[in-house]
Amino acid sequence: MGIQLHRECLHDFKLWFKRKGGRKPLLIRGARQTGKTTAIRMFTEECGLTLIELNMEKKWGFASLFQNNDPRKVIEAIELELNCDIDPETTLLFFDEVQASPALLALLRYFYEEIPEYAVVATGSLLEFVLASPEFSLPVGRIELYHMGPFSFEEFLSALDNKRALKYIRNCTIDDPVSSAVHDQLNMLTRLYMVVGGMPESITTYKESNSLREVERIKSGIIETFILDFNKYGSKANPVLLRKIFAALPAMLGRKVVYSNIDPHVRSKDLAPALDQLCLAKVVSKVFHSAANGLPLAAEVNDRFFKPLLLDVGLLLTQLHLNPVDVEHAEDINFVNRGSLAEQFIGQQLYHMAPSYRDPELYYWAREKKGASAEVDYICVDGHTRIVPVEVKSGKTGSLRSLQTIMQEKGFGVALRFNSAALSVVSEARVTPKGPAAYQLLSLPHYLVQQVNRLLELL
């Protein structure tokens, strides 16, 4: 099977399988080529299970039974058609590309209600288009949702067998940060991730060849696959507009989307649905503006204002036609498209840090006032349910004017900055509507992004 890259989701799948009687069918959601199918194959192999894998883009005789809502009959028909036994104790029934068979998605509820002893998993590359269609109703409470994205930075380090780097990252504290030599090496690995990205095929290619040229070839192929998929988005899709938006988004990273900047000759009411289709395909996500006056952040979202977050930082680098060698060896990547790689890197990790059963979400804050505008890259919530503004810098320095503005206006107690400098904590003075006060600024190197919650706990 070639190189297999371990993922954290395999642990989650094992916990799901052990639930037995209370186990719901598992519906895995995510963009094409993020490794959903491969992860299921690895899971069954590690657990010694028999995998019955059914690609629903093929014509199966048993599919005619889906409308009857009788999962036992479906099991019997699959056994007959494949000439196999499906033992609920030792078999995983895996329906792939389920977007080709919406009736199967509706049937999943009956697997849970009538035969929960059977382990059933479903996924698909363009699944979200079916889930979003008005005629389809997701059987809420009858299935377990699981969201998968590209490899995280720490999964990338694990894939490269760099256990020492992971140990330093997971063990460093505010009082005991890493040494300067280790810090430099971890920064180098961060830049390497920005080049290779988190797509499984890119990582596998780098691990096999150690060639960035080969990685660029693979990433270009993935991008072309996404473009070819535009013709599969449904009858309302306009491939010309989809290509136009897809090509324009990398240069818009970190900025509010203004449709006239994509093409002043195309109406926003035509561009907006096309962008929404790219979001359904998971190749781009919207980072919405939130007033950030309280929780949940989604309660004060202005859905007319959003920034794009692309699927993967490595694909972004390729779309921008940047030289991967320049990025890998740069000490300060601020020269790269106004630091967009760093903002994408941090946003990508934060976006997928929520529990896998929840829809990923990410927000930013901005004040658009003539002569006094301000914008904070991201807003997150820590384990103490504190609202934490996040500023991303690509190098070691950079202005914190916008961060100081939101701290003054909102009176938050903790702020977060990512840059390439070493870990530090400082107290910053501010003047608030309630009088003088201070807040703690936690400054983290980019490589500690997945340790944010652990380190914020120490403040």
Please calculate the CA angle 229-263-266 and round it to the nearest 5 degrees: 85
CA distance 418 to 396: 9
- Encode pLDDT of 32-43 as tens digits: 999 999 999 999
CA distance 365 to 387: 11
CA distance 51 to 6: 18
CA-based torsion, 309, 314, 319, 322: positive or negative? positive
CA distance 67 to 102: 10
- What is the per-residue pLDDT for 368? 76
- Mean pLDDT, range 426-442, rounded to an integer: 78
Before 296, cis peptide (omega within 30)?
yes
Question: In this structure, what is the dihedral angle of CA atoms 183, 254, 319, 448, given to the nearest 10 degrees?
Answer: 20
- What is the per-residue pLDDT for 95? 98
CA-based torsion, 396, 416, 192, 347: positive or negative? negative
Could you give phi then psi for residue 27, rounded to 5 degrees? Answer: -110, 110
- What is the per-residue pLDDT for 378? 97
- Encode pLDDT of 225-284 as tens digits: 999 999 999 877 899 999 999 999 999 999 999 999 999 999 999 999 999 999 999 999
- What is the per-residue pLDDT for 336? 47
Q: Is the pLDDT of residue 89 over 80?
A: yes
Give yes or no for a contact between 382 and 353, defined as CB atoms under 8 angstroms apart: no
Q: Set out the domains of the chain in order of their start, with CATH numbers.
A: 9-147 (3.40.50.300), 155-456 (no CATH)
What single-letter DSSP state applies at residue 285?
E
CA distance 278 to 230: 9
CA distance 440 to 458: 11
How far, in whole angstroms, is CA 382 from its chain's centroid?
18
CA distance 424 to 175: 9
Residue scoring higher pLDDT (394 or 255): 255
Q: How many helices (H) and strands (E) does the chain have?
A: 18, 13
Closest CA to 180 of 452, 433, 396: 396
CA distance 398 to 395: 8
Burial (Cβ within 10 Å: 0-12, 13-18, ≥19) of residue 198: buried
- Mean pLDDT, range 50-64, rounded to an integer: 96
Q: Which two tokens stand for residue 166?
A: 């992971």
pLDDT range class, residue 335, cuts 50, 70, 90: very low
Outline where 253-400 has alpha helix (H).
Answer: 259-262, 268-280, 313-319, 324-329, 340-351
- Mean pLDDT, range 76-90, rounded to an integer: 96
- Mean pLDDT, range 352-375, rounded to an integer: 88
- What is the per-residue pLDDT for 334? 47
Q: Is the pLDDT of residue 61 over 50?
A: yes
Q: Is the pLDDT of residue 419 over 80?
A: yes
How far, in whole angstroms, is CA 392 from its chain's centroid?
18
Count of all residues that appear for the chain in the document = 459
> Would you call 207 helix, strand, or coil by DSSP?
helix
Q: Put residue 35 in one of left, alpha, beta given phi > 0 → left and psi -120 to 50 → alpha.
A: left
DSSP 316-349: HHHHTT--HHHHHH-S-GGGSGGGHHHHHHHHHH
Give yes or no for a contact between 108 and 142, defined as CB atoms under 8 angstroms apart: yes
CA distance 264 to 427: 46
Question: In this structure, what is the dihedral angle of CA atoms 354, 358, 360, 364, given to the nearest 10 degrees?
Answer: -70
Give yes or no for a contact between 136 and 130, defined as CB atoms under 8 angstroms apart: yes
Q: Which two tokens stand for residue 177?
A: 């940060």
